[in-house]
Amino acid sequence: MVEAVVFDLDGVLVDSEHLWSEVREALARERGGRWHPRAEADMMGMSSTEWSRYMHDVIGLEDAPAQINEDVVRAMQERYEQHLPVIDGAVEAVRRLAAVYPLALASSANRPLIDTVLRETGLGEVFEATVSSEEVARGKPSPDVYLEAATRLGREPARCVAVEDSTNGMLSAHAAGMKVITIPNVRYPPAAEALALADRVLPAITELGSETVGSVR
Protein backbone atom coordinates (compact mmCIF):
# COMPACT_ATOMS: atom_id res chain seq x y z
CA MET A 1 0.00 0.00 0.00
CA VAL A 2 1.33 3.43 -0.97
CA GLU A 3 1.83 5.72 2.02
CA ALA A 4 3.73 8.67 0.52
CA VAL A 5 4.82 10.29 -2.74
CA VAL A 6 8.28 11.69 -3.46
CA PHE A 7 8.71 14.14 -6.34
CA ASP A 8 11.77 14.98 -8.35
CA LEU A 9 12.08 18.69 -9.20
CA ASP A 10 13.98 19.39 -12.43
CA GLY A 11 12.07 17.97 -15.38
CA VAL A 12 9.03 17.05 -13.27
CA LEU A 13 7.90 20.33 -11.69
CA VAL A 14 10.09 22.80 -13.59
CA ASP A 15 11.29 22.53 -17.19
CA SER A 16 14.86 23.37 -16.27
CA GLU A 17 17.18 20.61 -17.48
CA HIS A 18 18.02 22.57 -20.63
CA LEU A 19 18.78 25.64 -18.52
CA TRP A 20 21.35 23.69 -16.52
CA SER A 21 22.87 22.54 -19.80
CA GLU A 22 22.98 26.04 -21.27
CA VAL A 23 24.53 27.56 -18.15
CA ARG A 24 27.19 24.88 -17.76
CA GLU A 25 28.08 24.87 -21.45
CA ALA A 26 28.34 28.66 -21.54
CA LEU A 27 30.63 28.62 -18.51
CA ALA A 28 32.77 25.89 -20.04
CA ARG A 29 33.19 27.67 -23.35
CA GLU A 30 33.79 31.04 -21.68
CA ARG A 31 36.62 29.59 -19.58
CA GLY A 32 38.25 27.35 -22.14
CA GLY A 33 36.73 24.04 -21.09
CA ARG A 34 36.38 20.96 -23.28
CA TRP A 35 32.59 20.67 -23.59
CA HIS A 36 31.36 17.51 -25.34
CA PRO A 37 27.96 16.14 -26.45
CA ARG A 38 27.65 13.69 -23.55
CA ALA A 39 28.49 16.20 -20.84
CA GLU A 40 24.96 17.13 -19.79
CA ALA A 41 23.73 13.53 -19.83
CA ASP A 42 26.73 12.56 -17.70
CA MET A 43 25.97 15.25 -15.12
CA MET A 44 22.20 14.80 -14.99
CA GLY A 45 21.28 13.73 -11.48
CA MET A 46 24.73 14.34 -10.00
CA SER A 47 24.97 16.26 -6.75
CA SER A 48 26.55 19.71 -6.86
CA THR A 49 29.74 18.26 -5.42
CA GLU A 50 29.85 15.66 -8.18
CA TRP A 51 29.01 17.83 -11.19
CA SER A 52 31.28 20.68 -10.15
CA ARG A 53 34.12 18.16 -9.80
CA TYR A 54 33.21 16.80 -13.24
CA MET A 55 33.37 20.33 -14.68
CA HIS A 56 36.83 20.68 -13.15
CA ASP A 57 38.27 17.24 -13.89
CA VAL A 58 36.59 16.26 -17.18
CA ILE A 59 35.55 19.55 -18.78
CA GLY A 60 38.85 21.05 -17.69
CA LEU A 61 37.89 24.29 -15.94
CA GLU A 62 40.72 25.68 -13.84
CA ASP A 63 38.44 27.12 -11.18
CA ALA A 64 38.00 25.16 -7.96
CA PRO A 65 34.85 22.99 -7.92
CA ALA A 66 33.36 25.14 -5.15
CA GLN A 67 33.73 28.24 -7.32
CA ILE A 68 32.24 26.46 -10.34
CA ASN A 69 29.27 25.41 -8.24
CA GLU A 70 28.75 28.95 -6.97
CA ASP A 71 28.94 30.46 -10.45
CA VAL A 72 26.50 27.97 -11.98
CA VAL A 73 23.97 28.37 -9.16
CA ARG A 74 24.18 32.16 -9.45
CA ALA A 75 23.48 31.95 -13.19
CA MET A 76 20.56 29.58 -12.58
CA GLN A 77 19.11 31.96 -10.00
CA GLU A 78 19.32 34.77 -12.56
CA ARG A 79 17.45 32.62 -15.09
CA TYR A 80 14.77 31.83 -12.51
CA GLU A 81 14.40 35.52 -11.66
CA GLN A 82 13.76 36.25 -15.33
CA HIS A 83 11.29 33.38 -15.74
CA LEU A 84 10.53 30.37 -13.58
CA PRO A 85 9.70 27.57 -16.06
CA VAL A 86 7.00 25.78 -14.07
CA ILE A 87 5.57 22.86 -16.05
CA ASP A 88 1.89 23.27 -16.89
CA GLY A 89 -0.25 21.40 -14.39
CA ALA A 90 2.60 20.64 -11.99
CA VAL A 91 1.44 22.81 -9.10
CA GLU A 92 -2.09 21.47 -9.39
CA ALA A 93 -0.85 17.86 -9.47
CA VAL A 94 1.21 18.35 -6.33
CA ARG A 95 -1.72 19.90 -4.51
CA ARG A 96 -4.05 17.08 -5.64
CA LEU A 97 -1.74 14.47 -4.16
CA ALA A 98 -1.05 16.49 -1.01
CA ALA A 99 -4.73 16.15 -0.16
CA VAL A 100 -4.27 12.38 0.03
CA TYR A 101 -0.60 11.59 0.74
CA PRO A 102 2.32 13.09 2.64
CA LEU A 103 4.79 14.45 0.10
CA ALA A 104 8.55 14.86 -0.13
CA LEU A 105 10.90 16.34 -2.69
CA ALA A 106 14.14 14.55 -3.66
CA SER A 107 16.14 16.78 -5.98
CA SER A 108 19.60 17.06 -7.47
CA ALA A 109 19.26 20.84 -7.43
CA ASN A 110 21.11 22.99 -4.92
CA ARG A 111 19.19 24.03 -1.83
CA PRO A 112 18.89 27.72 -2.83
CA LEU A 113 17.28 26.75 -6.15
CA ILE A 114 14.90 24.30 -4.47
CA ASP A 115 13.84 27.00 -2.02
CA THR A 116 13.31 29.50 -4.85
CA VAL A 117 11.00 27.14 -6.74
CA LEU A 118 9.03 26.24 -3.62
CA ARG A 119 8.65 29.89 -2.64
CA GLU A 120 7.61 31.12 -6.09
CA THR A 121 5.12 28.29 -6.66
CA GLY A 122 3.68 28.45 -3.15
CA LEU A 123 4.46 24.75 -2.62
CA GLY A 124 6.80 25.19 0.32
CA GLU A 125 4.02 24.44 2.78
CA VAL A 126 2.86 21.38 0.85
CA PHE A 127 5.99 19.23 1.10
CA GLU A 128 6.60 17.66 4.50
CA ALA A 129 10.25 17.01 3.62
CA THR A 130 12.66 18.29 0.97
CA VAL A 131 16.11 16.91 0.24
CA SER A 132 18.88 18.20 -2.00
CA SER A 133 21.49 15.72 -3.15
CA GLU A 134 24.11 18.10 -1.82
CA GLU A 135 22.85 17.06 1.62
CA VAL A 136 23.63 13.35 1.13
CA ALA A 137 26.76 11.41 0.26
CA ARG A 138 25.97 10.62 -3.37
CA GLY A 139 23.74 12.03 -6.08
CA LYS A 140 21.50 10.13 -8.48
CA PRO A 141 21.64 7.35 -9.77
CA SER A 142 22.68 6.31 -6.24
CA PRO A 143 19.63 5.93 -3.98
CA ASP A 144 20.81 8.29 -1.21
CA VAL A 145 18.52 11.25 -1.87
CA TYR A 146 15.41 9.05 -2.05
CA LEU A 147 16.36 7.08 1.03
CA GLU A 148 16.84 10.32 2.94
CA ALA A 149 13.48 11.62 1.74
CA ALA A 150 11.77 8.47 3.02
CA THR A 151 13.60 8.78 6.33
CA ARG A 152 12.49 12.38 6.77
CA LEU A 153 8.91 11.36 6.00
CA GLY A 154 9.12 8.49 8.49
CA ARG A 155 8.09 5.98 5.82
CA GLU A 156 9.63 2.80 4.44
CA PRO A 157 10.92 3.35 0.88
CA ALA A 158 8.86 0.38 -0.32
CA ARG A 159 5.74 2.28 0.78
CA CYS A 160 6.65 5.32 -1.32
CA VAL A 161 6.09 6.18 -4.96
CA ALA A 162 8.63 8.37 -6.74
CA VAL A 163 7.69 10.67 -9.62
CA GLU A 164 10.61 10.96 -12.04
CA ASP A 165 11.50 11.95 -15.59
CA SER A 166 15.12 10.93 -16.22
CA THR A 167 17.30 7.86 -16.47
CA ASN A 168 19.38 8.59 -13.39
CA GLY A 169 16.33 9.63 -11.41
CA MET A 170 14.51 6.39 -12.16
CA LEU A 171 17.61 4.35 -11.35
CA SER A 172 17.96 6.21 -8.05
CA ALA A 173 14.35 5.73 -6.95
CA HIS A 174 14.33 2.09 -8.03
CA ALA A 175 17.58 1.43 -6.16
CA ALA A 176 15.99 2.95 -3.05
CA GLY A 177 13.23 0.36 -3.30
CA MET A 178 10.46 2.76 -4.31
CA LYS A 179 7.82 2.28 -6.95
CA VAL A 180 8.33 4.67 -9.85
CA ILE A 181 5.88 6.70 -11.90
CA THR A 182 7.67 8.17 -14.90
CA ILE A 183 6.79 11.20 -16.96
CA PRO A 184 9.52 10.95 -19.62
CA ASN A 185 11.54 14.09 -20.23
CA VAL A 186 10.87 15.17 -23.82
CA ARG A 187 14.16 17.06 -24.19
CA TYR A 188 16.26 14.28 -22.65
CA PRO A 189 14.36 10.98 -23.15
CA PRO A 190 15.25 8.32 -20.57
CA ALA A 191 17.12 5.21 -21.65
CA ALA A 192 14.97 2.20 -22.52
CA GLU A 193 16.51 0.08 -19.76
CA ALA A 194 15.63 2.71 -17.17
CA LEU A 195 12.14 3.23 -18.54
CA ALA A 196 11.58 -0.51 -18.21
CA LEU A 197 11.90 -0.09 -14.43
CA ALA A 198 8.91 2.25 -14.27
CA ASP A 199 5.73 0.92 -12.69
CA ARG A 200 3.64 3.46 -14.62
CA VAL A 201 4.47 5.78 -17.50
CA LEU A 202 2.40 8.93 -18.00
CA PRO A 203 2.43 11.34 -20.95
CA ALA A 204 2.17 14.46 -18.77
CA ILE A 205 1.96 15.49 -15.14
CA THR A 206 -1.63 16.59 -15.73
CA GLU A 207 -2.45 12.85 -15.76
CA LEU A 208 -1.04 12.35 -12.26
CA GLY A 209 -3.61 11.88 -9.53
CA SER A 210 -4.33 9.83 -6.44
CA GLU A 211 -5.99 7.11 -8.52
CA THR A 212 -2.81 6.63 -10.54
CA VAL A 213 -0.65 6.53 -7.44
CA GLY A 214 -3.02 4.20 -5.64
CA SER A 215 -3.01 1.76 -8.56
CA VAL A 216 0.76 1.19 -8.30
CA ARG A 217 1.51 -2.13 -6.65
Which CATH number does the domain housing residue 67 bear? Answer: 1.10.150
Residue 192's pLDDT is 95
Total tally of structural domains belonging to the chain? 2
Q: In angstroms, rounded to a whole number, what is the distance separating the alpha carbons of residues 148 and 133?
A: 9
The pTM for the full model equals 0.95
CA atoms within 13 A on the CB side of 52: 18
Residue 120's pLDDT is 96
Residue 98 and residue 11 share a domain: yes
Instruction: Show the domain range for 118.
Output: 4-15+85-214
Residue 95 and residue 75 share a domain: no
Residue 59: how many CB atoms within 10 A of its CB? 23
Residue 206's pLDDT is 98
Q: Which residues contact 217 (CB under 8 A, 6 or more apart)?
A: 179, 199
Is 90 exceeded by the pLDDT of residue 41? no
Query: Do 163 and 181 form a contact (C-beta atoms < 8 A)?
Result: yes
Residue 130 and residue 183 share a domain: yes
Domain end call among 82, 111, 132: 82
Q: Which residues contact 106 (CB under 8 A, 6 or more apart)?
A: 6, 7, 8, 131, 133, 145, 146, 148, 149, 162, 172, 173
Residue 200 and residue 119 share a domain: yes
97-147 pLDDT per residue, tens: 999 999 999 999 999 999 999 999 999 999 999 999 999 999 999 999 999
Please tell me the total number of residues recorded for the chain in this structure: 217
With bands split at pLDDT 50, 70 and 90, how would you rate the model's confidence at 198? very high
Residue 205 and residue 122 share a domain: yes
Domain end call among 82, 103, 125: 82
Residue 46 and residue 146 share a domain: no
Residue 63 and residue 118 share a domain: no
Is 90 exceeded by the pLDDT of residue 217? no
Residue 11 and residue 31 share a domain: no
Q: 16-22 contacts: CB < 8 A, separation 24 or more?
A: 16/76, 16/85, 16/109, 17/44, 17/166, 17/185, 17/187, 17/188, 18/187, 19/76, 19/79, 19/85, 20/72, 20/76
Q: In angstroms, rounded to a whole number, what is the distance separating the alpha carbons of residues 71 and 9?
A: 21
Residue 127 and residue 59 share a domain: no
Report the amino acid identity of residue 106.
A
Domain containing residue 191: CATH number:
3.40.50.1000
Domain end call among 53, 82, 111: 82
In three-state secondary structure terms, 107 is strand
Taking all residues of the chain, what is their mean pLDDT, rounded to a whole number?
A: 96
Burial 104-136 (b: 16+ CB within 10 A, else e): bbbbbbbbebbebbbeebebeebbbbbbbbbeb
Residue 68's pLDDT is 97
Residue 90 and residue 62 share a domain: no
Residue 53 and residue 153 share a domain: no
Residue 146 and residue 52 share a domain: no
CA distances (Å), 209 to each of 43, 89, 181, 195, in order?
30, 11, 11, 20
